[in-house]
Chains A and B, each alone.
Chain A
Amino acid sequence: MSLPIPGVWDPDGYLLPRRPRIIVVLDEHDGPHAAAHLRRIGGIDAGRVVVRPTPAVASLPAFALDVLAALEKNPVALQRKTRTGWRHARAWLAAARPTDLVIDRAHLLPYALLLAAAHAAAENDATLWLIWAGATDPHPAIAALKAAGHETDTRHISELPHDLPAVPRHQPRAAPKPTAARPMLPAADFPLFLAHARRRLTDDAFKRLATRYGTATFHTQQWLTSTPAQAGLVPGGALDPVALIRWLREQQIGPQRSGYEALITLRATQAVLARVGILLAWDRSGLGPLPENRLPSILTSPLVRALGTLPRTEDALATALALHLEQDGGCFVCWNLADVETSTLTLHPPAEHRHVQPKTERIATLPSQERTDAAARLEIPCRHPVTLPTDTDRILRAHLARRRMDGAGPGDPLFPALGRLSPATTVAQAIRRGTRHVGCDPWWLDRERVRARRPGPRLITSSWMTERALSLEPIPHPKQAR
């Protein structure tokens, strides 16, 4: 089997030829020390990927599963061997950015798979370590690698701890001190929240609340002064509601770790925005007994880690986007590879749109419903920049690597169509697989449940704001208000 000269993608998308550094580590006694040392050299976070091939592995799809398992992909999802498995493995390897790719018991692998491993190491500019155990002669394998243009070094197993040192073991964290139980927060709306908190919480509880409240106030004021135009502060200026929604989702409220923190942040934000003539209303009546728990983003760090165990990159990324935006993926088909800015994890609006315009039918509804409908119509994700949380960077990089390996260019879609399916259907299926994998069951993914929840003419799309019953409207000037 011959493989093209491996290369490395540079930031501009050009493929640069690379030759990997390959080290064959001889372990003629096949003792337990090698395996023990490999357990101490760290994992992906330390830049090291240790592949433990399944005995008698002979095909590339099967080897791909071993590589994916080394990259912490869910083994249950790996039971189906697919032809695209190796591309997925290479994509996740590219996202992991390893410095060292270690193949334990490499003497069991056929030459073709050794070459594939060399190719994968070259793509990532990583050193390939082949742990050659037992009495098997490594020279034919070394010759095969040389014939493919790879030079190798040879070391003895005793040198491995020096050449590939163990990573210092992290001290286990001390058990966290039991924190004081979180106080109940006042249920009052923002014009009374702080006063009720001051009167109805203990001194310590109020101090903690006031600190967090003050921080949120500061951030809101800072954001208002950083935006080009601010309602109420610049005559004739109009605040961009979409920019405000984006800031609420991605910086102010979405990243809060608990309902407690989110509620305090929301109340502080509401008070500051009211001072500049914007009402950020929160209709909590339909959100259940603990409405503040609905405020933080549902794309939490544990959920991102769970998505990272998906072998298919499109499943992981589409699901992460859907949960971040709390929308089905109807608009994800618009993005191209050129619209993705990896340094900031931002997807920029494309020049042309391909999504089907969501239907919005209006009926006579309560004013609060009209407000939330208006907010939802603002949140067409492909029309505005979308920034993903920082811990999704590996997922994004893996998918971009996968698309490049498919031969996609900057003008090609981020989520291409699969087979005869339309791009929208492909994305929808990817999100279903992803949400099922992480045990998430958002109602807005299922059209039938959408119809059951909102019978009659209704707004079909959901959004981050509507899922939290948040809405924006200007506070009228007294002469205009009725």
Chain B
Amino acid sequence: MSPARKHGRGESERSARRSPADRGMVAERMFASPISRFQLAGLLGVHIDDLADANLARLPVHVLIDLAGQTDLHPADLVPDLEPLLALRRLPRADAEQPDPNTRHDAHVILAALTVTRGPLSPGALAEALDWTLERLHAALDLIAAEPDLPAPLTLHRTPRGGYFLAARADLINQEQRERLNTTADLDAFDFPPRFITLLAAAIAHGRTERYAAFKTEHLLAHNELTGLHLLLPVPGEPDQVDVHPDVIYSLTGYQTEDRIAQPPHLALAEHLRY
């Protein structure tokens, strides 16, 4: 009888035999992972106080995969019942392909890029900074996830006083990419609250008129935040006027413009502001 068939529902023998020390080590690794305890609790569907006692064997498979990936734990450490099953030989895969060599190079570029950024970057911001398509970026990210032992593109440097440090290889990222990695606003996780939409609408309709000064005064914080995100662009010589980033105009209205806005879009977004 295969190991899988020995066990019925509920906690199995193997999981029940796991010692408190084992459970403690797993819990310790979970807590040492980059995600917060609140995120862990959300992932496992338990109260934060019950994290250490969570019954991992009852988790849906996709949650288990996510948990193993986030904590760098072997799945059998999370659910001991998996151990004999993971030793089973896989079926030959008809569509198994070797990764594209270019994808492998892209993976190294991403690893190098992430060593020079000031903090975590979303895929969208990475794609913007590297000027890649999302498909290309995600193919490389998938390869990195599939090969955790992928060699990191770092070189060992020595300081004049004899100390050592690691730095990304200089040949993988050009100067333009390096600047964008440090300056690109990471907008992927940014959700636009209502006051931002209000001000964007005002800017689209009246950004190049004297009326915008009143909007700016009324919503100075929103104006500053949008300016910081480079979605409102200052007009040279006109401190109380703004241009709206073409991306916003295009996304909200389908109206395309390459340079300055010739005329406001003929849509209700502007009319909504009439008073």
Contacts and interface: CB of A to CB of B under 8 A. Distances in A.
Contact of A477 (B127, B132, B198, B251): B198
A274 B138 contact: no
B200 interface: yes
Interface string B179-199: 000000001111111111111
A407 interface: no
Interface string B130-166: 0011110110000000000000000000000000000
A67 to B, nearest CB: 32
Given A476-B195, A478-B273, A482-B195, A194 B251 contact: yes
Contacts of A200: 124, 127-128, 132-134
Contact of B269 (A187, A189, A275, A482): A275
B124 A473 contact: no
A189 B268 contact: no
Interface stretch (A45-53, A114-122, A408-416, A449-457): A449-457
B218 A276 contact: no
Contacts of A388: none
A202 B252 contact: no
A284 to B, nearest CB: 8
- Describe B's contact surface by its main secondary structure: helix
B138 A479 contact: no
A223 to B, nearest CB: 15
The residue among B45, B123, B268 with the most chain A CB atoms within 10 A of its own CB is B268
A190 B192 contact: yes
B219 interface: yes
B248 A192 contact: yes
Interface residues of A, number: 53
A192 B198 contact: no
A476 B272 CA distance: 10
B198 A191 contact: no
A201 B251 contact: no
A279 interface: yes
Contact of A195 (B122, B193, B246): B246
Contacts, number: 142
A186 interface: yes
Nearest to A279: B194
A481 B194 contact: yes
Contacts of A288: 66
Interface string B7-43: 0000000000000000000000000000000000010
Contacts of A201: 133-135
A183 interface: yes
Interface string B111-130: 00000000000111001100
B191 A275 contact: no
B251 A475 contact: no
Contact of B218 (A285, A443, A475, A479): A479
Contacts of B137: 184
Given A453-B45, A479-B275, A192 B134 contact: no
A196 interface: yes
Contacts of A443: 45
Contacts of A276: 268, 272
A193 interface: yes
B272 A189 contact: no
A473 B194 contact: yes
B10 to A, nearest CB: 16
A276 B192 CA distance: 16
A467 interface: no
Given A232-B272, A452-B46, A475-B272, A279 B197 contact: yes
Contact of B199 (A196, A449, A478): A478
A202 B195 CA distance: 33
9 nearest A-B pairs in the assembled complex, by CB-CB distance: A195-B247, A187-B188, A184-B134, A194-B251, A275-B269, A481-B198, A195-B250, A200-B134, A195-B251
Given A192-B187, A201-B134, A477-B273, 10 more contacts: A184-B123, A187-B122, A187-B123, A188-B188, A190-B192, A190-B252, A200-B124, A202-B135, A275-B272, A481-B219
Interface of B: 42, 45-47, 66, 122-124, 127-128, 132-135, 137-138, 187-202, 215, 218-219, 231, 246-248, 250-254, 267-269, 271-273, 275
9 contacts: A184-B134, A196-B124, A205-B133, A274-B197, A275-B267, A452-B45, A453-B45, A455-B47, A476-B195
